[in-house]
Structure 1
């Protein structure tokens, strides 16, 4: 699958030190030979002024056209909604179609693909898959370039390194570093006996006849989710430094980012020379323009992709960007080769779940109304699935006043309908996790709820039961919440870890947390999926 494409040139990672652009160190003998060669070249140009280099850098009047296919936040390898949308096999088909139109076509994924997913939780030979299925499918789909998303660091150090080494696509990052016993270093990738550092940027070398165009690509990631083995520097400073290194070496620069949209907009303001920012992190498609910079994000799980058709005018130095959102639906057939790889991983996952005792096909209940777990819905408003989970949590703990869960715990990006099985609940809540009973003051609970509203459109948007906001006041069990009163809250263990965006304050050691009850190994509250299953059985 790994092939040499002369249209693509990645900066030699083994010769880069963090964000430093590589320039060869010449020996004394080499310098002498170089000076001699330069003298001959000068004489040649003086004697033959009409001669031109066979390969010229973007100096023709004919525009150079090339295409970027952009994905972001892809957690599922298979199609969703009954097979009608998404799926990496459709991505492969679209890529091949674009390549036929223009051989200068490059595929990018702007972070968040190694975790979470149902298949990623499966154990094979005693080890969790942890994104190996996604890397394998992306290799077969011929993805070209990726950067880190915050969920890449859900993996432990060993598993992340394994996924990097398995990748046949190129990683780029200007601000993600490996915390080692020897200090901060770029992460490395070992392939075929060679170990290279992940570069801060890459350069596309596009040749059209005698014309040559060089496009620089820098990449940055937001600073959330930094386990002990990871260090993420300020994305703006890293991008500015990398852009300064790149701008005189290339004809134009674009960015691959995994930032919040507000951060992408700030990046465009700070570096107005960027022609395009291919972003991730938000899961709904959007396109913005800041000055001359286009910022684009597609829908998560390859429900859509952005096709950027770029045209460079050598005469003016202008790079035009024409961006089109492409829905990946049944109008695109599944690529047979990639679809076969996908089905192979699904078969392994189903077999492993059965070995673990999950009765995947036995119905839990039959729904009269579909439960909405689509990310465009559940991350922006209360949905019947989100409310059902929160209610199940509340009812699982006697005496609880309310239930709260972050929408990002739901990774279904689909609707549950008809006959529901254990496997459906595993798909909906792949993280699992405990349901805690936490006694907290009303002031802290109010702060949490307001932070949830600020997270609209993100995984930190909260789904609640037993809570309601009227005007500027919150009500619990129909009564106005009091700042100094104590309330019993059924809440996910993840939210109480302080790892959710804008909720770093919410930790078990917060002074307004009065008590925490953690379920035992035999209690139903030990797994939110068991809690939801029990609730649905009663409906």
Structure 2
């Protein structure tokens, strides 16, 4: 649905829900900067992106709000700004016309501006990793509350005097945060008293709101012909074992779903090695043994219909690229690799980390001076997720879209039996 409507369905849902304030994230740019501008024009919310600029002029990205003062009761003022990850150009497709400025310098500027305008309490809307959120709280005094995204897991914590909250992915939870702010008229020198309280509401198994469901069905009808429905229901293979697409495994461990996709790429494109980044698989589910895997399930799990490619690359450059994929470990990252045809041992205790073993399944060590072929996504081969060593390789050919490649592989296998952990990548930490 995202590929077809480029986010228009999400904007209509957000407008219906009365969302008032939004911060830009990397995935807003999945279809390019011009599509972002269209969606923002359709939205009734205010969009923050204090560090998102026009690369040519240095002006704020069209339609974006820099800072805002919101009047509260008792004459208090809430100051708001928002920042988006500087890694967006390597995580999505904003193009060369958009500049993502340093989040720390931007935040410092915004806090100083809001304080000068009399803000009593400052809220930062962030689309950063939790590690960066913590660092921001330490490096930029004056931020009272951060509401964050980007990470797929929920977090609630204090970093110094800054309250940080993330609700996790896919609206699995809805957070309710309340802050009682009081200032003593008799003793203003005591400053603002802040009393926070919060709760997490699980959305699982709740009946859908009829109005939201109607909006969703409208878009589903627009894209679903009878042939589409039949195609989505088509069974490709049956699971002989449980298959996990849990985000935590895909982004920081070994996932048998990641192994499956890497195997499909290597087998169908006839290469020495297959590789997929964990962020390509998005469902965050567990499928029990005897589940029939359908075309619809593949579309749900791999919503980015990106093509597979065959890359010819030197062994040493592949080694260096793999280390780039693992650079954020043990933090969850969409770059986390899943491989086929390789066995790796990585020593993360070393500074910098090193790959101590890189061998083919036969046990033969990979010749670091020789070239080999790798099947992966066009995103990865283009240096996505900051893995620039892939650019030293050469794309030999572009194949079908990866969900189609995986579907062909599944139809040949018919029965898929993958253990939970094969030890394809052993990490010493």
Superposition misfits of 4+ residues, deviation over 4 angstroms: none
Paired residue for 1:174, among 50, 55, 65?
Answer: 50
Give distance in 2, aligned partners of 1:231 and 1:529. 32
2:303 equivalent to 1:303: no
Structure 1 position 424, deviation (Å): 1.8
Does the C-alpha gap of structure 1 residues 504 and 323 become closer, same or farther in structure 2, counting only changes over 3 Å?
Answer: farther
Residue pair 1:416, 1:424 contacting (<8 A) in 2 also:
no
Give distance in 1, aligned partners of 2:129 and 2:6. 25
2:260 equivalent to 1:388: yes
SS state of the match for residue 81, structure 2? strand
User: For structure 2, which runs of at least 5 residues remain unmatched after alignment?
Assistant: 185-190, 348-355, 414-429
TM-score with structure 1 setting the length: 0.68
Structure 1 position 223, deviation (Å): 1.4
Paired residue for 1:473, among 348, 357, 363?
Answer: 357
Q: Note the alpha carbon deviations across 1:411-430, whole angstroms, 9 max, x for none.
A: 22334552222222122212
Give distance in 2, aligned partners of 1:267 and 1:464. 34
Does the C-alpha gap of structure 1 residues 381 and 353 become closer, same or farther in structure 2, counting only changes over 3 Å?
Answer: farther
Structure 1 position 352, deviation (Å): 9.1
Structure 1 position 328, deviation (Å): 1.9
TM-score with structure 2 setting the length: 0.84
Residue pair 2:259, 2:338 contacting (<8 A) in 1 also:
yes
Give distance in 2, aligned partners of 1:321 and 1:239. 23
Q: Note the alpha carbon deviations across 1:192-213, whole angstroms, 9 max, x for none.
A: xxxxxx3212222222xxx232
Q: Note the alpha carbon deviations across 1:107-132, whole angstroms, 9 max, x for none.
A: xxxxxxxxxxxx1112xxxxxx1000
Paired residue for 2:114, among 246, 251, 275?
Answer: 246
Residue pair 2:86, 2:101 contacting (<8 A) in 1 also:
yes
Paired residue for 2:249, among 365, 371, 377?
Answer: 377
Give distance in 2, aligned partners of 1:170 and 1:287. 25
Give distance in 2, aligned partners of 1:495 and 1:428. 18
Give 1:93-492 correspondences, 5 Å limit.
119-122=1-4, 129-179=5-55, 183-189=57-63, 198-207=64-73, 211-224=74-87, 225=89, 226-248=94-116, 249-315=118-184, 316-330=191-205, 332-351=206-225, 354=228, 359-398=231-270, 400-416=271-287, 418-456=291-329, 457-470=332-345, 472-477=356-361, 478-492=363-377
Give distance in 2, aligned partners of 1:336 and 1:305. 18
Q: Note the alpha carbon deviations across 1:234-261, whole angstroms, 9 max, x for none.
A: 1111111111010141111111001122
Structure 1 position 533, deviation (Å): 0.7
**Greater alpha carbon shift after TM alignment, 358-367 vs 374-383:** 358-367
Does the C-alpha gap of structure 1 residues 531 and 241 become closer, same or farther in structure 2, counting only changes over 3 Å?
Answer: same
User: For structure 1, which runs of at least 5 residues remain unmatched after alignment?
Assistant: 1-118, 123-128, 190-197, 520-524
Q: CA RMSD in A?
A: 2.2
Q: Note the alpha carbon deviations across 1:446-477, whole angstroms, 9 max, x for none.
A: 11222222344111111111222236322222
Give distance in 1, aligned partners of 2:373 and 2:316. 13
What does residue 108 of structure 1 align with?
Answer: none
What does residue 426 of structure 2 align with?
Answer: none
Q: Note the alpha carbon deviations across 1:314-370, whole angstroms, 9 max, x for none.
A: 12413233343332222x442222222122222323239739xx8222222222334
Residue pair 1:306, 1:323 contacting (<8 A) in 2 also:
yes
Structure 1 position 215, deviation (Å): 0.9
What does residue 65 of structure 1 align with?
Answer: none
The structure whose Rg is larger is 1
